Structure formats: C-alpha cells, structure tokens
Copies of this chain bind each other. A is one copy, B any other.
C-alpha cells in the first residue's frame, strides 16, 4: 500500500527546473468526483456508462472495518501486555547490543574518511515554510525590506492602497526599533496546550497584516517577499551543502484556483532549490469555510484540493505551471490541532462527503481516509503516465485521540510527531514491525504538548522504531531519486547490504543488529500466530 521510492522521478542537476519542454500530451479523459473520490474515465462514453478507468483504491467500508479491527485489538488487555513485553525486550536487547558493540561501532566510524556528523546528508522532513526562518532572520528581513520599500503599496483595503510605511504607522511601530521581543513570533510558556495561541504566533507583532505581507504566497505582491525569504533559507542550505528540507506550503480547498496560484508563485519567483522538496499541507478547517459559506459540503473541499491535480495529470499541456511545480512536491501533510474534539463517531455508517453538509468538522480519520484514497487513485494514474507520485505524511499522534494513530498506521508513508504512541504499546509495536517512519520534534512538543525531558524520542530510537529528528539536528533521508547519489547504489536493500558506510557514516554492526532484530521479531510473530492457529485447531 506504500509507494516505492523509485516511483518518484525528480529532475536532477543541470537542466532548467522550470522548463516546459517534454511535457506529456493531453488526453481526452473525463473526471468526476463521487463519494469524495475522483474517478477517471477514458472518454465521454465511459463516463456515460459509468465505467471508470481501473485505478484501484481501498473503499471506505474496507477502511472502516480495518480501522475498527486495529482499534479493538488495541483494547484487548492480553495484547497490551504482550506488546508491552516485546517492546521491553527490544529495549533491553538494544542496551545489551550497545554494551557489547559500542566500541566496535565507534571504531568503524573512525575509519571512514571524510564522513562525520557534519557531512552526512541530513533532511529536515518536517518544517513549515511560513516558519522555516529564525525569528532573528525574519526581523532582519522586515527591517531591510522596509529600508528599500517603505513607499511600496503592499496591501489594499476596500479599494484603498496602503504602503509599507502606512502599515507600520497604523501599527504605531518604527521597524528600526523592532526587536524579537516586539516581533513576538516565538512560542513560550503561554502556548503550552494552547494550539490557538501558538497559531497566532505566526502573526509578527501580533498583526495579521504583517503575516499577509511577508508570509503569504497569494497577496497583493504575488508573494514576492515570502518567496525572497524562503530563498534566503534555501541559499543557506545550499551553502552548508549537507542540509536539506521539505517545507510545507498550504492548499486549503476553499477554492479551485489555489493550485494554479501556488504553482505560478513557485515559477514566477524561481523558488526551486536543489536542497528542498515541497510538501503540501492541508489544514483540517472545513468548518471555517462552511461557516463562511465558501463550500456547501465536504466533497467540494476535497474537489478543490484534488481535482486540479487530476486535471494537471491528464492534461499537463493545459496546466503547465501545476505540472512543473508537482515535479518538486514529495507529498501531502494534514495539519491542525489534534486535541480538538470531534462529536462525530467515525464508522462505515458516516455520511459520504457529498452528504456532509453539517457545520461541524469531520473527524481526523475521515479527513485522512479521503486524502489517502484520492492520493492513491492519483498515484495510480500518474504511474501509468510515468509521472511522479506523492506520499501521505500527515501530522499524527501529536495530541488528541489515539484513533489518529490507527488511521496513520493504515494509510501513511510517514507521520509527524507520533507522541501518543507512548500511550499505546499495541500501536507502538505495530509501528515498529511495519517500520513506519516518524519525524519527531521534541523542541516543538516542548512548547505545545510535552516537556522536553519527557519526550519519548530516545526510548523509541532504542527500541528500534524508525524515528528521525526534524527541524533540529540529524535527519532521516527522504524518498527522491537523488537519494541514490547520497546513500549509495544499494540503498533500497534491507540491512547492512543497503548501507554504504562511506556515505551514511552508520556502522555496519549497527545496521546488522537492527536488521537481524527486526527479522527475528517478524518471524517470532509469524510463529506465535501459527502456533495459536494450531492450538485452536486441536482444541
């Protein structure tokens, strides 16, 4: 159910990243959304006869049944005890490994010329574009922009043009006197368990005007300032050579034109960097758009998000900008405050997206399934055409119900946070067995949901869960073609075979330990299930 990395052809160095040559030709396919999923028809006749192109995806009922199955097994007390013991075993085994092999591992590392922590490739797999610069960087950027552009018109209010100088005047601020204190974008004690207050930190000086001017892609300046500051960040990454990032850009689903506008921004301002790939974040805020009457039901929001992607995949000549931008998009994220409670109980009886006309927001799992299903259909379509495919990498388990982690387990290529795995040994063990990557950010958690000293990252790492550290220091590698160059030709192979220590600077001894332990655990589980089946048979 997960996409293999070789499905994601990415342009490599040399060629013009914005080139519109060699765009595949348009097809006369027909597209139609039904039950919140886009269907593709080979032609108008197939559409009339309701014979969609064969692009498989798991239907809603299957998903809902699997979902309750995992959820139930999580609740069984003997399963809990069992998983808890296996995880403890993995922990103890690792300590033993460390005691016995630590010196040997260090020796291996010391023998690798050129490679150390500083010059292995590191990818920040979880970072939001609108917060990818430091507070000091944003401050300096605002001050320098003001020096050059004070008289430039940057906003329009009821037909009236407003210059940068007028904006600061109305805020009663002199940009020269601004400090990081008055900028006030840094999270602190006040944001702990207050996602709402955290979100408002995106507004410099507490003023949404400055966010609009400096941190948006679709404003009066066509996002010129935002593009410029992002390019300063990517310039730093390129300079340091070994650092990469996958920043999030937003698609909201409130109107069908968002993809076109975002792609135009990307190309017009030449935002591409060889050290960056882009992730599209979709905020789970249907309820806001519904209240503002921007969408009549949930299906419309899904259509605004996904239909333009199908159109660009079917008729790329007719959607050149989107086609070009998508080459650098690695996947989708689903974002918002997970601790917000939903009254709706997710099940196979939940209304279809076209019927979801209520004002309330659908629950997390409902969002994730519909993103997952559409991305799967889209990927199958794009594979057929030899185009790049996308991953689903939602925020998951940062807070709120444990059911989010069940949805993540069933659908996602990678999750961000996974903090709540702490609370469920069964899910934790499943994430271990399936080696689902988890991008963790202890410093972010520290400001929002969990004190730094209680963060489970180290514990997960010891047990062998597939964790990486994001928006901080050492990084996990992401799934693009250039990975071959950074990790060695065998990077897809499991265990030590896939590890080229001269590139990764990870000890072969460690790779062998991890691989053997996982294989043992998997065959142990198979044996256990088998013997259970046997004993049932003879009872």
Contacts and interface: CB of A to CB of B under 8 A. Distances in A.
Interface of A: 102, 106, 109-119, 136, 174, 176-177, 179-182, 184, 189, 452-453, 505
A113 B182 CA distance: 9
A119 B179 CA distance: 9
B505 A110 contact: no
Contacts of A111: 182
List the 10 closest A-B pairs by CB distance, nearest first. Answer: A453-B453, A113-B177, A116-B179, A116-B180, A110-B182, A109-B181, A116-B181, A110-B181, A118-B136, A115-B179
Contact of A181 (B102, B112, B181, B453): B112
A350 to B, nearest CB: 43
A505 B177 contact: no
A113 B179 contact: yes
A182 B179 CA distance: 42
A109 B119 CA distance: 40
Contacts of A179: 110, 112-116, 119
Contacts of A113: 174, 176-177, 179
Nearest to A453: B453
Contacts of A119: 179
Contacts of A106: 181
Contacts of A177: 113-114
A295 to B, nearest CB: 38
A446 B359 CA distance: 52
Contacts of A189: 102
Contacts of A452: 453
A184 B110 contact: yes
16 contacts: A102-B189, A106-B181, A110-B179, A110-B181, A110-B184, A111-B182, A113-B174, A114-B179, A115-B179, A116-B180, A116-B181, A117-B180, A118-B136, A119-B179, A181-B505, A453-B453
Nearest to A177: B113
A455 to B, nearest CB: 10
A410 to B, nearest CB: 35
Contacts of A182: 110-111, 116
A257 B74 CA distance: 74
Given A110-B182, A116-B182, 13 more contacts: A102-B189, A109-B181, A110-B181, A112-B181, A113-B176, A114-B177, A115-B181, A116-B179, A116-B180, A117-B180, A119-B179, A452-B453, A453-B453
A112 B181 CA distance: 9
Contacts of A117: 180-181
Contacts of A118: 136, 180
A492 B176 CA distance: 30
A194 to B, nearest CB: 14
A266 B113 CA distance: 36
A167 B485 CA distance: 35
A449 to B, nearest CB: 17
Contacts of A176: 113
Nearest to A119: B179
Contacts of A102: 189
A396 B111 CA distance: 39
A144 to B, nearest CB: 16
